[in-house]
Every structure is written in structure tokens, then in C-alpha cells.
Structure 1
Amino acid sequence: MAKELITNFGYDKILKEFKYLYEKEKPYWVKEKQIAAQHGDRSENAEYISAKAEIRNLDKRLRFLDKIINNSEVIDISKIPHKKINFGSEVTLLDLDTNEQKVFKIVGTYETNPNENKISNKSPLGRALIGKELNEEFEFRINDNIFEYEILKIQQCKVEDL
């Protein structure tokens, strides 16, 4: 199985979340479940049922995070040149149809966040951007729609933005 790329900052966030859930949250809910179990019939014990559900959800999240941790290739974006668009680049595009500027950050699949304009290197736009140069114009197609862009700026993503 091919490893998913992830920035060193994204990887650190995932490790931090895993550690917190494993060392703090899960022990808390295991203890809550044990306390609730002492209150009698478990089939009608809301606290017991709730704690059990929390543990199940935590285990699910921990398995997901563990999968990311074990199937990721951590990339230090400060060591990648950003003269051309690359993984870890922040790109300012000019939409040639609307004259609007749009900023995108190229990150790994597990780090994407449309609300923060973080797009995956494997997304259609991410793939179209990789390797492009400053001032280059290109077309990007989604279904029957064609978008035309010009690349105005390429720089390394800032740590505080990841």
C-alpha cells in the first residue's frame, strides 16, 4: 500500500491527538464505565451505556489515527523547493473568468480542510497544480466546467497556517 504524504506539522497534530485520547480520554471513560457498572443493572444504566459508547467512539478514532500514523510518509516542507508548486506550497491563483484571487495550500489527504483552503495533493486541483510555475496559465476541468487560472504567487505554507 502506498503511503500517504503528510506535512511534519500535520503529523505532529495527529500524534498529539492520539496521545491525548489514549492517555487521558480513554482512561477517564474506562473509569467512568467501571463506576457506572457498580450502580446495578447495566441494561438500563444510562451512565454505563453512555460510557461504553464513548469508549467505542474513542477506540474507533484511535484506530483511525493509528492507521494515519502507520501509513504516512512525513514530509518536511521546508526542505522542498517552492519555485514550482509542490507539496506544502501555498498558491495564489487568479481566476481569469471572475478576476478573483484564490489562495490554496497543498497538503496531504488527512490534512485537507476546505474551510481553510487546504487541498489534497491527490485532489483534482491539487494534481493539476503540482509542477506549475509562477505566471503560468492553465485550465482545470471538473465535469463539464472549465476554469482558467493564472498563478500569481508560490510560497511555502506557513507553519501557523498548517
Structure 2
Amino acid sequence: MKHLISKEGFEKYKAEWEQLKYVERPAMIAQVQAAAAEGDRSENAAYTYGRMRVREIDRRLRELDRILDGAQIIESSAPEDGSIRFGATVKLIDKKTRREKTYSIVGEKEIDPLKGRISMKSPIGTALVGKKTGETVQVQAPRGMIVYEILEVNY
């Protein structure tokens, strides 16, 4: 199944895959082999930890394979009409509290709400897509309806 991802997000996952595959995994394999050569494996913490770490690395590599294989890289460019699309960074102001927030609309595999990286399918992302600077959007949040004004859109 294809999923949208930014070029930066794809490169980040690719770099992680290469680090795990070509640096961390071979180092752990070497550590496990050295620990196994010491003898009794049942009480050898380095051997036990090394095997567990290799399994974790393999699990993450499989996950990264699925992400990278199913990725559809989207180049972010501003649409002619100035509307919000995938890859946009949007500056908003809460009409009630007057607090400003900035969100970047990214693929589902790249979200990080604490850094303001949200999916197009999130409630805020859904409300923003297709809107333009100066428009207002309403977002249903657990604490009630929030009304934002779009201050700025960048790509």
C-alpha cells in the first residue's frame, strides 16, 4: 500500500536503514559471536543482550523496509492558488486565546505532534487542506470547538 512521504522524510528513514543494516547490525553480530566464544551462554549477559538487540534491529529494519517500499515521495511546491496542500507549513492563531501555532502537513509515517508535524488525515490537517491565508477553520477538539485563522502558508 502506497503512502505519501516527503523527500526529507524518505531520506531520514533511508539513512536510519543504512545505519542499522551496515553499522549497528554487523557490530552486534560481532559482539554476539565474541560473547558466544567465551563459553557458557546461559549466564553471559553480553551474549543475551546482543541477541536481543539483533532481534530489535531486525524488527526495525523490516518496519523500515515496509515504509520505504510503500513510499510515494511528494515534492512540496506551492500550488498556484495558494491553498494548503501536502508539505505546507501553516501558521495559525487561535481566535479565542490569541495563541499562535505552526503546523507542517506531512505523511502519516512522519507525524510528530510535539514538533507540529501533522498528517493530512488529522482533524487539524483535514480542516486546513484546501484553505488559504486569511480564512478561518473550525477544529473539533476534546475541549470543544477551536476556531483558527490562517496567518501564513509556506512551502
Query: Normalised by the size of structure 1, how large is the TM-score?
Result: 0.90
Provide the residue aligned with 2:131 in structure 1. 132
Superposition misfits of 4+ residues, deviation over 2 angstroms: none
Q: How does 1:67-146 map to 2 (within 5 A)?
A: 67-78=66-77, 80-81=78-79, 83-143=82-142, 145-146=144-145
**Aligned length in residues:** 154
1:6 and 2:16 aligned: no
Given residue 37 of structure 1, which amino acid in structure 2 is its aligned partner? A
Deviation string 1:72-117 (CA, Å, 9 cap, x unpaired) is 1111113x52711110000011101101111111111111112211
Which residue identity does 1:90 align to in structure 2? T
Where 2:104 maps in the other structure, the secondary structure is: strand
Partners in 2 of 1:110 and 1:91 — Cα distance? 19
Long gaps (5+) in structure 2: none
| TM score, norm. by length of structure 2 | 0.94
CA distance in 2, matches of 1:72, 1:122: 17
Give identity over the alignment, percent. Answer: 39
Q: What displacement does 1:142 show? A: 2.6
Q: CA RMSD in A?
A: 1.3
SS in 2 for 1:20: helix
Tell me, what secondary structure is at the counterpart of 1:74? Answer: strand
Within 1, Cα distance between the matches of 2:72 and 2:16? Answer: 18
Q: Which amino acid aligns with 1:81?
A: P
**In 2, Cα distance between equivalents of 1:75 and 1:132:** 19
